[in-house]
Amino acid sequence: MSPPAVTEPSHVVLNEVVRRYEGPPAIHALGSIDLVLRRGEFFSVVGPSGCGKSTLLDVLCGLVRPTSGSVQFEGRELRGEVPDGIGVVFQEDSSMPWLSVRQNVAFGLRTSELSQKEITERVDHAVSFMGLAQFSGHYPAQLSGGMRQRVCIARTLVLRPRLILLDEPFGALDQQTRLLMGDELLRLWRETGATVMLITHALDEAAMLSDRVGVMSARPGRFIDMVETGWPRDRDSRIVSDATFGTVTARLWSSLRAESLKTMGRAA
C-alpha cells in the first residue's frame, strides 16, 4: 500500500448520488446526495432508522453502484468494485464462525504480500487494541455480540485502510463501553490519520467523536443539516462535559426530531 500521490484535500466526493432499489415495491432509498469527505476528517452520519444510511455506505465504498450520480475515491471514480484502501465494518455481524478470533483478524491479510513477521505484528496489535487479547483462541460463538463486532473492526484495522467506514459498530454495546470504545476509535483515528465515516444512531456519540456530523432526512435519505463541532484533534470522551457538547447535541436533535416523527408515521 503506497501512499497516494493525490494531495488535494477531498478524499471522497459524492456527486448527485441517488440509489433506488428495483421493486417490487420499488424503493427510492437514497439521495440526491452531494458530499465531500475531507482527507483525515472524522465524519458521522445520523438519521432515522431506514433512511438509507447503510445504503449510503454501500454506495460510498463501491459495493453497489449508485442508480445515478458518481462516487470518487482519491480522485478516481468507482465502478462497482471496492478499491484498495477502504475498510468497512458492516452493521451485521460479519465474523466468520469457523475461524478463531485471531484467524478472523488475520483473514483480512490472507492475500497480502507482507512478510509473515509483519502480519503477526499487525494482527497482535489489532487484537490487543480491540481488547481481545485474552480471547484470541476463542470462536465467535463463544463471544458476545459486542466482542464479535470488535473482531470485525480488528479485521479491518490490520489492513491499515486510508478510509474507514463503520456502520453502527457499537450498536450492541452498553453506554459505558460505548464511550470507552469511542475513545479507542479516536485514538485509532489520530494514530492512523485515516478518514473515518461513522454511522450511528446515538446523537451524543456523533457529537462527541466527530469533526462534522451529517444529519439525514427520512427516506429517501438526503442531508438536511451539516454540523461542524470544532473539536480539537486531540480529544476524548471527557468533552461530553464541555458546554459546546450540549449545544451540538441539541442542534442535532432539533434537526432530527421532525424527521424521526415522519418515519414513525406521525405529524411533526
Partner 1 sequence: MSDISLENALSTPTSRRRIRAFDAVVMTLLMLALWQAIGSWTKGVAVSPPLQTFVYLFGLLRTGMFWDHAAATLAAFLLAFGLSALIGLALGLIFGIRRFAGEVAEPMLAGFYTIPKVTLYPVVLLVFGLGMSAKVAFGVMHGLVPMTLFTLGAVRNLPPVLIRTAKVLRLSPGRTMLWILVPACLPDIVNGLRISFSLSLLGVLIGEMFSSQRGLGFLLVNGMAQHNVPLSTAVVTVIVVVAIAANTLMLRVGGRTARRPNP
The correct pick among 219, 231, 252, 255 for binding ligand ATP (CB under 6 A) is 219
Number of residues that bind partner 1 (CB under 8 A): 24
For residues 227 and 212, what is the distance between their CA atoms, to the nearest angstrom? 5
Place of cell 504480500: 113
Q: How far is the CB of 123 from partner 1 (least distance, A)?
A: 15
Contact call for residue 54 and Mg ion (CB under 5 A): yes
Q: Phi, psi at residue 259, to the nearest 5°?
A: -65, -40
CA 31 to chain centre: 19
Cis amide bond preceding 25, omega within 30? yes
Segment near Mg ion (CB under 5 A); pick from 40-48, 89-97, 123-131, 256-264: 89-97
Beta bridge partners of 10: 38
In the list Mg ion, ligand ATP, partner 1, none, the entry touching 117 (Cβ below 5 to 8 angstroms by class) is none
Cis amide bond preceding 220, omega within 30? yes
CA 204 to chain centre: 16
In the list partner 1, Mg ion, ligand ATP, none, the entry touching 253 (Cβ below 5 to 8 angstroms by class) is none
Contact call for residue 87 and partner 1 (CB under 8 A): yes
Contact call for residue 239 and partner 1 (CB under 8 A): no
Place of cell 502480519: 119
CA 60 to chain centre: 11
- Segment holding 243, helix H or strand E: helix 243-263
Alpha-carbon separation of residue 67 from 36, 71, 74, 163 (angstroms) = 19, 11, 21, 23
Comparison of 74 and 168: residue with beta carbon closer to ligand ATP: 168
232-261 residues near ligand ATP, rule: CB under 6 A = none
Contact call for residue 148 and ligand ATP (CB under 6 A): no
117-146 residues near partner 1, rule: CB under 8 A = 139-141
Instruction: Judge contact between 222 and 55, C-beta under 8 A.
Output: no
Contact call for residue 110 and partner 1 (CB under 8 A): yes
Residue 123's identity, in one-letter code, is V
Instruction: Judge contact between 195 and 38, C-beta under 8 A.
Output: yes
The correct pick among 92, 113, 174, 191 for binding partner 1 (CB under 8 A) is 92
Contact call for residue 169 and partner 1 (CB under 8 A): no
In the list partner 1, Mg ion, ligand ATP, none, the entry touching 52 (Cβ below 5 to 8 angstroms by class) is ligand ATP
Cis amide bond preceding 210, omega within 30? no
Apex 260 CA angle, 256 and 261, nearest 5: 120
Comparison of 99 and 240: residue with beta carbon closer to partner 1: 99
The correct pick among 88, 127, 163, 198 for binding partner 1 (CB under 8 A) is 88
Q: How far is the CB of 54 from Mg ion (least distance, A)?
A: 3
The contact set with partner 1 (CB under 8 A) reads: 61, 63, 81-82, 84, 86-88, 90, 92-94, 96-99, 107-108, 110-111, 139-141, 159
The contact set with ligand ATP (CB under 6 A) reads: 21, 27, 29, 47, 49-55, 91, 201, 219
The contact set with Mg ion (CB under 5 A) reads: 54, 91
